[in-house]
Structure 1
Amino acid sequence: MARFNTDIGRFDYPNSGLNRPEELGCFSLDINREFHDDTSQRKYFIKPSNYDNVSFDLTKGYEGMVKRDEFKDEQIDHLLKWINNHELGNMQTHFICRRGLLNRLMRTMYAKKDDWKFAVSLHKGTYYLCECPTDQSLAKIKHMMGEKDDEMCGWGYKFEQYLTASSADSDPTPDLQYNNCETFYTVVKATIGSHTLVYSGEVDAVSTDEPFGEHYVEFKTITHSALQRNSFKRYKL
């Protein structure tokens, strides 16, 4: 069963030269991880009526869960399809990558035991960055393929089903089969100092709550312990 909690963070970097990213577009991946240049997988956050006291069964429907192949490395293929569809092949930017790569790079100082390996290609003045698997990352995937760990990974996707719907005025459908294949991505452009970056990032849901107006939200599930909360704040937030 799940307890519901929320942490809302707003981040400003007055001295870093990092601006608020500008959204260029979006795309979706279906249950077969096929690319769609649309918003078909966009979900909206539906706040529970009993917000302070909810009980969700996160194991519901686990046996029928459709899972993506964690060993299949998709790199930036889908992002490049979006760029090609919108005739942005000569996009003037310094770097193109996925948000997860930037995440891993920027938290290096806080996760010193985690290794990473990137492949970089320079084409017409733009650096294309992809993350390569390491022995450590492959071992972590194999470890998480155990039945209990696999089930725990599924909690997050079921949690999202309880809290999201296909439109802002519809209801969540947690009884449906759930999976970790269908996803919605935003494509944004950001500036750091004199450099520009174009990257894609997975979006859990859109929230229309005040006072922020329409904005993207991220869901995380953790076990309720001091150790987990400290780890969550250190490595995730």
Structure 2
Amino acid sequence: MSFKIDCESFSENIPTLTIELFGHYSIDGESYHADLSQMKYYIPPPDFDNVSFDLKNFTSTRSNLPSYIKLDDMLRWISENFNRLKKPLSAQGDQWLDIDFICRRGVLRTLLCTPYKKKDKWIICAAKYRGTIYLCEFYTNERERQHANKTAEEKFGSWGRKFEQYMVADQPSHKPDPSVPLNECAKFHCIFKANFGDHSLLYVAEIDGILSEQCITDTLIGKTFELIELKTMSMEQYNAIGTVGGKYDTIFVEKAISWWSQNYLAKVEKIICGLRKQWEVKAIKEYPTHNLLKLSKPCCNSDKCKMFCKMFLDNVKRIVIKDYSECMYKFYFDGSSDVINYSEIASNDETYHFFQSSFVHKAEYYNSTFQ
């Protein structure tokens, strides 16, 4: 079975995204903490044009091994916040939570990027429980093979983590300390509740750091701060930007759409980019989010990205009607056309299983006890 998404010519209104920061949690290796313990503060260097950050020489206490991340930690956060997410009993009907779709930001980012990254194949699986659809992205066989072979992308990922150590600290009054061992599994996440067109969304995003003069210890909700996204890029790519027909134009188109979509989904206003010569960052460049797509050659159209994402969610809502206990749904994009194939798969399929039975037990217990 399949459906086609034509986002080249559309007559519908472009969906708008309204976002509310709804929660946060920390991951320290394998441990989950409902707090701000892994949150970092952005400490900009005094001179953006004169830095020397060595990204190559570091010791690592933990490496980020999983090829893709399921919903385990987010489902735990939801199970601890049922009271904030459930609909009033009189308004529930077939839908218990006041949310249409629950996922990681990466799922929505993949959808937003697809019109400009059509060579990238992807798999997104869906499970429906009490009226809400849970989405989880999985790697294709090609991506799994790439991940298994220590690719350059993995190395650059570690370099990006090391760059963060030069740019963030545990307190706003502290200086960054890049001498400490690099723990790639220590992460801070924010939960966002959003409306996208006529779809309600709840998704989690990893956050590199915040900009705040004040130390925040209890909650980010209601506080004044700015979310910060940190990236690295080679000097060669930076010097080639804006050169029509330049060698790196296509690469930067993919980078621009990827960076824009990531920031768009978390209301991050700018990217702080480390410009590296081989493994050493030599300068820092700021890219306002609203300018990212204008910098790409050719210029990207964000409306096309938003329409593709909306149309996909429209179709998923239409197709995913059976409960997770009956089946899950697999959506597959092979990059050869605008067609998305889908099929029903067994709810206990080991390859694509992501919806935890323990989460369902907690939800059913909550409903029987507190409703």
Matches within 5 A, 1:10-159: 16-30=14-28, 32-61=29-58, 63-71=59-67, 73-88=68-83, 90=86, 91-143=97-149, 145-146=150-151, 150-159=154-163
Q: Distance in 1 between matches of 2:172 and 2:208?
A: 14
Instruction: Assess if the C-alpha contact under 8 Å between 2:109 and 2:258 holds in 1.
Output: no
What code does the residue aligned with 1:76 have?
A: L
Q: CA RMSD in A?
A: 2.0
The residue matched to 1:222 in structure 2 has which SS? strand
Q: Distance in 2 between matches of 1:193 and 1:150?
A: 35
What code does the residue aligned with 2:57 have?
A: K
Residues 89-126 of structure 1: CA deviation (Å, up to 9, x unaligned): 73311000000010001111111111111111111111
- Which one has the bigger helix percentage? 2
Q: Does 1:163 align with 2:167?
A: yes
**Structure 2 match to 1:214:** 225
What code does the residue aligned with 2:199 have?
A: H
**Structure 2 match to 1:232:** 255
Deviation at 1:65, TM superposition (A): 4.8
Q: Distance in 1 between matches of 2:36 and 2:14?
A: 32
Structure 1 segments, 4+ long, off by >6 Å, are none
Instruction: Assess if the C-alpha contact under 8 Å between 2:116 and 2:254 holds in 1.
Output: no
Q: Distance in 2 between matches of 1:150 and 1:129?
A: 25
Q: Distance in 2 between matches of 1:17 and 1:183?
A: 31
Distance 1:150 1:80, change over 3 A: closer
Instruction: Assess if the C-alpha contact under 8 Å between 1:17 and 1:191 holds in 2.
Output: no
Larger Rg: 2
Q: Distance in 2 between matches of 1:100 and 1:74?
A: 9
Distance 1:58 1:204, change over 3 A: same
Distance 1:202 1:64, change over 3 A: closer
Instruction: Assess if the C-alpha contact under 8 Å between 2:117 and 2:254 holds in 1.
Output: no
Greater relative CO (CA pairs within 8 A, separation 6+):
1
Q: Distance in 1 between matches of 2:113 and 2:74?
A: 23
Distance 1:196 1:230, change over 3 A: closer
Q: Distance in 1 between matches of 2:147 and 2:128?
A: 30
Deviation at 1:133, TM superposition (A): 2.3
Instruction: Assess if the C-alpha contact under 8 Å between 1:222 and 1:229 holds in 2.
Output: no
Residues 176-230 of structure 1: CA deviation (Å, up to 9, x unaligned): 0012100000001110122110000000010138xxx621111111212221545
Aligned residue-pair number: 215
Structure 1 unaligned segments of length 5 or more: list them.
1-14
